Amino acid sequence: MQAINPATEEKLEAYQDHSDAQMTQKLEAAHEAHLVWKKTTFGHRSKLMKEAARILREKKKDLAVLMTREMGKPVNDGEEEAEKCARVCDYYADNAEKFLSNENIISDASNSYVSHQPLGIVFAIMPWNFPFWQVLRFAAPGLMAGNAGILKHAPNVPGCAQAIEDIFLEAGFPDHLFTNLFIDTDQAARVIEHPLVRAVTLTGSTRAGKAVAKKAGEYLKKVVLELGGSDPYIILEDADLDEAVKMCATSRLINNGQSCISAKRFIVPQSIKTDFERLLVESMSSYKMGDPMEQDTQLGTMAREDLRDELAKQVDDSVAKGAKCLLGGKVPEGKGFYYPATVLSDVKRGMPAFDEELFGPVASIISVKNEEEAIAVANDSIYGLGAAIFSKDVKKAEKIAAEQLEAGACFLNSFVKSDPRLPFGGIKESGYGRELSHHGIKEFVNIKTVYVK
């Protein structure tokens, strides 16, 4: 496997693919490591996980450069990602024992309770957009619960994949407990089939999620899926428009717009549409696009040429169907897989900018007559990952967020983000299951009833 620097188009270090025989050997070694690891104390696991957090912080500048070179993330964002990974390691090091402690239940038994036992090998298929965070948010709770981890990372971030395995080894985790595999899609299917693999987690596209769910279902493997999203942001008439636009632009351009939970559809009443358009164009045009290695760059490159070209086609098709391009919308000349901050207005059903996920720095503005139509439009999507609503009437907006928006996470007067303390995941074609919080660590344990008469 070989990454290509998306800013310079140069080929980076190549990594040797694993053969089927090597893959099987690594699965067997991971299982043996798990059999020993599951007998360790939470105190021992916590000590090692704290050390992993320390290493992540110590090496965050180097890790950020690695992320930037392989997938184009602005280097400052990479440092923030490494720090966030350290926080999730600390969080589960501090809380795993509490989350997985026995739960006493009153029944007709002399004593009855629920215990939480590790499953074994959890196979993770992870994406490139947050190449460390996506992995650590499965690995930290999984290892603290007593499981082993096998990683198939995206092929364009092989160095990041290897670096994660190296961090766990440096922190003192047993050999083979967390293992990176350089394998292709067909081999990944065979990993799911393997009897030593007990569960699967995937973050990626809806198409990939359906394929993994089908294979996991065929072999009765537990699976958690965090898939695509087309998050709606509703701006009500009474919203603080300046603050709302700031949140909207920040969310839309995080990670060069390549985030499943970034703002994608901006739903505004006709009465404030003109002001919202003006402010959003001003805000998004102020972001500096350039070399992601430069400290002042806010908008780097897209991760791959094919992804950039697909986004450009979605924008062009939307404009051809009647959307108005208020900003950007053209592939710049020169090297690198750059795409500018883009604002589309008058977006309607039947356009890619309405119906599909635009995985890049493109904002879709949809105008509505009233609050009821705004909610209906927000829910008019195959996706249900995140949603946000902006209003000074907090009580009314909270009721809409809590009861009427179809999403796994609904934020009020802020942009949607993941936090180790809060459960994360979606509904509809955004997937099922939860990561993070106490919910996430309980996805991959045997929730066992113990009944004593």
The catalytic residue among 226, 277, 429, 443 is 226
Residue type, 382: I
Residue 260 annotated among the catalytic residues of the structure = yes
Q: Shortest CA distance to 181 belongs to which of 68, 28, 60?
A: 28
* Class of residue 237 by CB neighbours under 10 A (exposed 0-12, middle 13-18, buried 19+): middle
Q: Check the CA dihedral 183-57-4-15 and report its sign.
A: negative
Alpha-carbon distances of 300 from 199, 229, 336, 347, rounded to whole Å: 35, 21, 9, 26
Do the Cβ atoms of 141 and 441 come closer than 8 Å? yes
The token duo for 147 is 């499981």
The catalytic residue among 160, 248, 260, 410 is 260
What is the C-alpha separation between 178 and 267, in angstroms, rounded?
Answer: 43
> What is the bridge-based pairing of β-strands 111-118 and 103-104?
antiparallel
Q: Shortest CA distance to 65 belongs to which of 73, 53, 54?
A: 73
Write phi, then psi, for 251 (nearest 5 degrees).
Answer: -65, -40
What 3-state class would DSSP assign to 320?
helix
The token duo for 241 is 């428009």
Write phi, then psi, for 325 (nearest 5 degrees).
Answer: -95, 110
> What is the bridge-based pairing of β-strands 231-235 and 386-390?
parallel
The token duo for 292 is 């992601």
Do the Cβ atoms of 287 and 280 come closer than 8 Å? no
The token duo for 56 is 């992540």
What is the C-alpha separation between 14 and 17, in angstroms, rounded?
Answer: 9
- Region of 168 please: left (phi>0), alpha (psi -120 to 50) or beta: alpha
Residue 371 annotated among the catalytic residues of the structure = no
Q: What is the DSSP letter of 406?
A: -
Q: Shortest CA distance to 356 belongs to which of 410, 319, 401, 318?
A: 318
Write phi, then psi, for 153 (nearest 5 degrees).
Answer: -90, 170
> What is the bridge-based pairing of β-strands 222-226 and 197-203?
parallel
Beta strands in 324-423 (DSSP E): 324-327, 342-345, 362-368, 383-384, 386-390, 409-412
What is the C-alpha separation between 81 and 73, in angstroms, rounded?
Answer: 10
Residues comprising the chain, all counted: 453
Catalytic residue list? 226, 260
